[in-house]
Structure 1
Amino acid sequence: MGHGKGHGADMDDARAWDKRLAWAYGLIANDPAERAAALDHLASARRRTEEAQHRFNETLRMLQGQGVMYPYEDPALRSANEEYLWARSHSLPSGMWDRGHGEDLAEWPGLPYALLFLEWEARYPEEWTRHAKAWGTKEGLIRDLATDAVGQDPVARTKLIDLVEIVVRRAYRCKDREYVRIARVVDGDPLRVRLEGARRSENPWAQLHAGYVLWILDRPEVPNSRHVWRTWLADARQ
């Protein structure tokens, strides 16, 4: 992926991401035992994050109670904040929250983990909902990934096409409509062959969702709004 082309500091950043979150690949494993182990790791990481946040809040309240005028400059609070940020970066979904605005996502070393987080939601939605439900993070990542730069990365493009197919073949879940943005970025024969297969399948959800995505791909000027979807759906069911 993007970071694989870099060197020096870029590779150091990629290694840092792997050190923090490589365990998360177990969340999308086919083996239930491997997924269970990753879920246990996630539960521990989330617990550490919550404990660190609690210590930060308690430190802040203590300093404010002591009348400290600038508590955020106090070494104790700075230390508590660093501990919280460290714990947060080792967990999900919070590990996805610290990307700098304006950063080139195609070169972002966290890109594989953004894709992993979305793949987890797509392949194992019940486990995702039970252990790391974050609709805003899902929506934000999809929108951030819907760029030509990411879509031109061969590895990312393949993963994004997979995600669009998985999503159109299932019952609608919150923020799934955002995947139309991805479909528009990775539009081409590989995607359309998958969508046609879904549209011609016996799965009624796949027929509707794939049909709509194909329809809107042919109309780049049409907004992917709730109104457009409902109008298309009413026509399709006549």
Structure 2
Amino acid sequence: MAGASGWDARLGWAHGLIADERARREAALARLAEERARDQAAGDRFNALLRETRSNYAAPGVREAFAGWQAAKARVLPDALWSRSRADDIRHWPGLPYALLYLEWEARHPREWTRHAKKWGTKERLLRDLAVPEHATPVRAKLTDLVELAVQRPYRCKDRGYVGVARAVDSADLRDRLTAAARTANPWARRQAGYVRWLLDHPGLPNTRHVWRRWNDTEHDAPD
């Protein structure tokens, strides 16, 4: 169940989290709550057994309970995404579609994401690991969409990681989108899209707070 089909079997329902129809999202959120309750129950069983055996992992049932807990986590977002080791190349990881789904969920429905699945550390790691070249064409297209969505909203925690993603999927299409966003009436889009577009033109500059402040001081007024 470790391949793409296994991920779909466990988490295929999660596509409802990014649906436009509220009814589909509510159904997916209800499923998420059910899976999280099972995860909590499995964790409670494991921890209770561990206490009873004084942390003896060799005791009968302990390993089985732990395996059951991990199996329950594999059906929950974002917990399922934590199974990837640092040695796994994210470009070939079967869980990649659900990592992208997790980021798209925040981009399209931030309040629901924040209430039900907020994990800033997970977001930060995903953005860092996705900021690599040679993604498959469909993945590049999705990442381009995510960068465009990110620059059009008020800054959210760890959004700075989208600069690395933008640099990894740099293209004429992305630059055109950023240029268009920087010319809109949306003050956040003007500021953030302009900054990312500027960094694409200056690949040697680091994406640091100092560089961000310097660009703001020299290029633009503060957002309304």
Per the shorter chain, which TM-score range?
Answer: over 0.9
Alignment of 1:57 onto 2:57: no
1:20 corresponds to which of 3, 7, 10: 10
Equivalences for 1:66-81 in 2 at 5 Å?
A: 71-81=56-66
Residue in 2 aligned with 1:133?
A: 118
Residue in 1 aligned with 2:147?
A: 164
Alignment of 1:92 onto 2:82: no
2:182 corresponds to which of 176, 199, 202: 199
Residue in 2 aligned with 1:148?
A: 133
Distance 1:186 1:101 in 2: 21
Alignment of 1:226 onto 2:209: yes
Q: Is the 8 A contact 2:191 2:220 kept in 1?
A: no
Amino acid of the residue matched to residue 132 of structure 2? Answer: T
Question: In the TM superposition, what is the alpha-carbon distance from 1:107 to its structure 2 partner?
Answer: 1.4
Structure 1 outlier segments of 4+, above 4 Å? none
Question: In the TM superposition, what is the alpha-carbon distance from 1:233 to its structure 2 partner?
Answer: 1.4
Using the size of structure 2 for normalisation, the TM-score is 0.95
Residue in 1 aligned with 2:172?
A: 189
Q: Which runs of 5+ in 2 are unaligned?
A: none
Amino acid of the residue matched to residue 108 of structure 1? Answer: W
Instruction: Looking at secondary structure, tell me which structure has more helix per residue.
Output: 1
Q: Which runs of 5+ in 1 are unaligned?
A: 1-8, 65-69
Superposed CA RMSD in Å reads 1.3
2:200 corresponds to which of 210, 217, 235: 217
Distance 1:223 1:119 in 2: 26
Per-residue displacement from partner, 1:93-151 (whole Å, max 9, x unpaired)? 1010001222222211111001000000111110000000100000111111111132x
- Aligned length, in residue pairs: 221
